[in-house]
Chain A
Amino acid sequence: MSPPLLELRGLKTGFPTRAGEVKAVDDVSFTLKRGKVLGLVGESGSGKSVTGFSIMGLIEPPGRISGGQILFDGIDLAKLSREEMRSLRGRRIAMIFQDPMMTLNPVLRIDTQMIEAIAAHEKVSRAEARTRARDALAQVGIPSPEERLDAYPHQFSGGMRQRVAIAIALLNKPDLIVADEPTTALDVTIQAQILAEVQKLTTERGMALIWITHDLSVVSRLADDIAVMYAGRIVEYGTVADVIDRPLHHYTAGLIGSVPSRNKRGSRLAQIPGMTPSVLNLPEGCAFRTRCAHADAACEATPALVAQAGHLHRCFHPLREVAA
């Protein structure tokens, strides 16, 4: 068995505030192999984006990674200096953000931005870099890439802009891409186009992908594994089939039940009462227990991540017992 490309071991990321440290990510572990897709699912404030930013080394002080390891191809990213991380970022690990209008420089032409990204990591001639930029645009399905290189970001539609952002992420043929809600702002038909491109790229290139989203339906078709996060912790982690068809944690089951297309038309949706607690004052023990119908005294202790036949969950009263 090949070693995993990325392995997170007990990652903790915190932000100091006047009211104490906010544990945005608390003890998150997962592994990801080449060519595989991990869906990192959670609602706002669950810590899914901070996990992605931690991997990228983009946590701004005073926020810091306070514990755990991020092993990428055997190197602990959490221990790298800024310069070392910088040479890795954009070359071997790349990120795609939700809003391409925020990540693309509005006053520079696309070719300038793309050539810059190549030249930052390699000594290549301008002409060669431009050719590579053009090929990357063609690869993500942008029509007439040669002419589009001379365009500015505002001249692209939302879907095309996100394609440009993906093309930039692909420029240096990274081993790992962290995608943070890249299709959330797009229309369904455009989302399907982007997902089709991404799916093609992972299978053809053997690239590993972390797809961060709040939308279970997107990752259920795209990912191999799913990790569900709640209030900074992974509460359930397993293959797509395990997590979607046989959820163990009540939060996952609640999320799946909330999706309208899973319910009979016009029936009441199985809602989760209340809302995500603030990470500043989490309830003691299981963070979900205040919203959980099955919570009892046992839940006042913090549940550990337990494995049931390779399917991990963090619950004292899982929905079903699986023979180990």
Chain B
Amino acid sequence: MTLTSIAAMPQNAPSATPMMGAPIVELRGISRRFGKTPDLIDRAAISLGLAKPPPVVRAIDDVDLSIAKGEVVGLVGESGCGKSTLGRVVAGILPPSSGQVFWNGRAIDTLPAAERRAGALRTQMVFQNPFASINPRLPISEVVGEAPRIHGLIKGGRSAQAAYVDEQLRRAGLDPSLKERYVHQFSGGQRQRIGIARALAVQPDMLVCDEAVAALDVSIQAQILNLFMDLRETLDLTYLFISHDLGVVEHLSDRVAIMYLGRIIEEAPTEEIFGRPNHPYTQALLEEVPRIETTKRAFSSLKGELPSPLHPPSGCHFHPRCPHAFDRCKVERPALKTIASKHKSACHLNEQL
């Protein structure tokens, strides 16, 4: 995007759809590509037709998403659909290749550096594997206390710092007397609580949870989900909850966005998406959610797998697996259009009827 077009864009543009509050984060036309940038020699070779341009993965392909204050948005998709990449863009730890991210209505690339750093603290991430995301050589007190100390969030001396860390641990359901232990001395559920305590220690407004309960046993998963719900109430947190588990997302979210191969293909309030799924992919996904039910019935199955994001299918990415695909789906990308109040879907079928 050129400089003039950024300047031309209104800084406090209202979000396209009316939301329950002002969007805390808004993504507009976000794309993220991964691939080797060709150097001078490569570029020369490519322009002479001696080499092919390096392959590019479009992990996110022109995505719009806005998250209102206090809202819980579930982001669902299969592995490789770009949901984690999108989460990282929202959390501000991965810059988009194109498009703009707005925090409270202000485009982050126009913010002064100091404000940008302060703003980045407002969104924190909780990762799937706390063992890989927590420094194994630091005691828990340091894991949780380091960031708020460096950012000057704790007023007072050592005792105030210790009290602050204790408070963070207690809030995440951990016994502060264990704070001199290391991460390997904790169980899976406790480790996830440490990850949550660390994220909350810098007093964020928003948490991006990337498969935060996927690796946990069911009974522990329930404990962590309850913790998330309690924290939402006490701290007025906003969540982007990324998961492949539709049951978890249904339970926690106000609104759900479904991703397929780098694009959001359906977005609606939770009851709407689970009650009246519109996109054929969403329908297939819901069909296959394992639920506890005692009637023994056959597993139906969606044919095929997620295609390679290196060579995505033309038109609608889902058309090779879609039972309703017709000619138009192969050539034209369906736009994400409002089909009912607050319900958006990207499918050509909606225009046929």
Bitwise, B86-116 to A at CB < 8 A (1) or not (0) is: 0000000000000000000000000000000
Given contacts A196-B299, A275-B189, contact A188 B285 (CB under 8 A): yes
Nearest-Cβ distance from residue A28 to partner chain B, whole angstroms: 20
Bitwise, B240-255 to A at CB < 8 A (1) or not (0) is: 0000111110111000
Q: How far, in whole Å, are A161 and B156 apart by their CA atoms in the complex? A: 57
Given contacts A192-B299, A192-B302, A199-B299, contact A270 B222 (CB under 8 A): yes
Name the residue on A nearest B254 (C-beta). Answer: A266
For window 250-273 of A, CB contacts with B under 8 Å fall at: 254-263, 265-266, 268-273
Nearest-Cβ distance from residue B130 to partner chain A, whole angstroms: 15
Name the residue on B nearest A43 (C-beta). Answer: B217
Nearest-Cβ distance from residue A199 to partner chain B, whole angstroms: 6
Partner of A192 from B226, B250, B300 at Cβ < 8 Å: B300
Hey, which chain B residues are within 8 Å of A29, CB to CB? none
Name the residue on A nearest B232 (C-beta). Answer: A266
User: Do residues A269 and B244 form an inter-chain contact, with CB atoms below 8 A?
Assistant: no
Bitwise, A273-296 to B at CB < 8 A (1) or not (0) is: 101100000000000000000000
From A8-16, A215-223, A310-318, give the one contacting chain B.
A215-223
A189 interface residue (CB < 8 Å to B): yes
User: Do residues B217 and A276 form an inter-chain contact, with CB atoms below 8 A?
Assistant: yes
Given contacts A221-B290, A244-B294, contact A258 B222 (CB under 8 A): yes
Q: How far, in whole Å, are A265 and B270 apart by their CA atoms in the complex? A: 9
User: Do residues B250 and A189 form an inter-chain contact, with CB atoms below 8 A?
Assistant: no
Hey, which chain B residues are within 8 Å of A157, CB to CB? 305
Given contacts A193-B302, A275-B220, contact A268 B293 (CB under 8 A): no
Most chain B CB within a 10 A radius of its CB, from A43, A159, A193: A193
Hey, which chain A residues are within 8 Å of B187, CB to CB? 275
Name the residue on B nearest A259 (C-beta). Answer: B292
Given contacts A43-B217, A43-B218, A269-B225, contact A218 B294 (CB under 8 A): no
A195 interface residue (CB < 8 Å to B): yes
Q: How far, in whole Å, are A199 and B300 apart by their CA atoms in the complex? A: 11
Q: How far, in whole Å, are A43 and B79 apart by their CA atoms in the complex? A: 24
A240 interface residue (CB < 8 Å to B): yes
Nearest-Cβ distance from residue A287 to partner chain B, whole angstroms: 14
Q: How far, in whole Å, are A223 and B245 apart by their CA atoms in the complex? A: 21
Bitwise, A196-231 to B at CB < 8 A (1) or not (0) is: 100100000000000000111110111010000000
Hey, which chain B residues are within 8 Å of A241, CB to CB? 294
Bitwise, B260-281 to A at CB < 8 A (1) or not (0) is: 0000000000110000000000
Nearest-Cβ distance from residue A218 to partner chain B, whole angstroms: 5
User: Do residues B79 and A265 form an inter-chain contact, with CB atoms below 8 A?
Assistant: no
User: Do residues B219 and A43 form an inter-chain contact, with CB atoms below 8 A?
Assistant: yes
B118 interface residue (CB < 8 Å to A): no
Hey, which chain B residues are within 8 Å of A190, CB to CB? 78, 305
User: Do residues A258 and B292 form an inter-chain contact, with CB atoms below 8 A?
Assistant: no
Q: How far, in whole Å, are A27 and B285 apart by their CA atoms in the complex? A: 40
B203 interface residue (CB < 8 Å to A): no
Hey, which chain A residues are within 8 Å of B324, CB to CB? none
Hey, which chain B residues are within 8 Å of A258, CB to CB? 218-219, 221-222
Hey, which chain A residues are within 8 Å of B246, CB to CB? 188, 261
Q: How far, in whole Å, are A97 and B189 apart by their CA atoms in the complex? A: 25
Q: How far, in whole Å, are A95 and B225 apart by their CA atoms in the complex? A: 34
User: Do residues A260 and B248 form an inter-chain contact, with CB atoms below 8 A?
Assistant: yes
Q: How far, in whole Å, are A276 and B301 apart by their CA atoms in the complex? A: 35
Name the residue on B nearest A243 (C-beta). Answer: B294
User: Do residues B289 and A189 form an inter-chain contact, with CB atoms below 8 A?
Assistant: no
Partner of A271 from B226, B284, B305 at Cβ < 8 Å: B226
User: Do residues B292 and A189 form an inter-chain contact, with CB atoms below 8 A?
Assistant: no
User: Do residues A221 and B299 form an inter-chain contact, with CB atoms below 8 A?
Assistant: yes
Hey, which chain A residues are within 8 Å of B290, CB to CB? 188, 191, 215, 217-218, 220-221
A245 interface residue (CB < 8 Å to B): yes
Hey, which chain B residues are within 8 Å of A255, CB to CB? 218-219
Given contacts A192-B302, A241-B294, contact A260 B250 (CB under 8 A): yes
User: Do residues B302 and A240 form an inter-chain contact, with CB atoms below 8 A?
Assistant: no
User: Do residues A269 and B296 form an inter-chain contact, with CB atoms below 8 A?
Assistant: no
Nearest-Cβ distance from residue A34 to partner chain B, whole angstroms: 17
Q: How far, in whole Å, are A258 and B187 apart by their CA atoms in the complex? A: 19
A/B interface sample: 24 pairs, CB < 8 A? A43-B220, A44-B188, A160-B305, A189-B285, A190-B78, A190-B305, A191-B288, A196-B300, A199-B299, A218-B290, A220-B292, A220-B293, A221-B293, A221-B296, A240-B294, A256-B292, A260-B245, A260-B247, A260-B251, A261-B292, A262-B292, A269-B225, A273-B223, A276-B217
Q: Which residues of B contact A (CB under 8 A)?
A: 78-79, 187-189, 217-223, 225-226, 229, 244-248, 250-252, 270-271, 284-285, 287-302, 305-306
| Known A191-B290, A271-B219; further 12 A-B contacts with Cβ < 8 A | A44-B217, A190-B305, A192-B287, A192-B300, A214-B218, A259-B292, A260-B222, A260-B225, A261-B251, A261-B289, A265-B271, A271-B223
CB-CB nearest 8 A-B residue pairs: A260-B251, A258-B222, A217-B290, A261-B247, A192-B288, A269-B222, A196-B299, A43-B217
Q: Which residues of A contact B (CB under 8 A)?
A: 43-44, 157-160, 187-193, 195-196, 199, 214-218, 220-222, 224, 240-241, 244-245, 254-263, 265-266, 268-273, 275-276
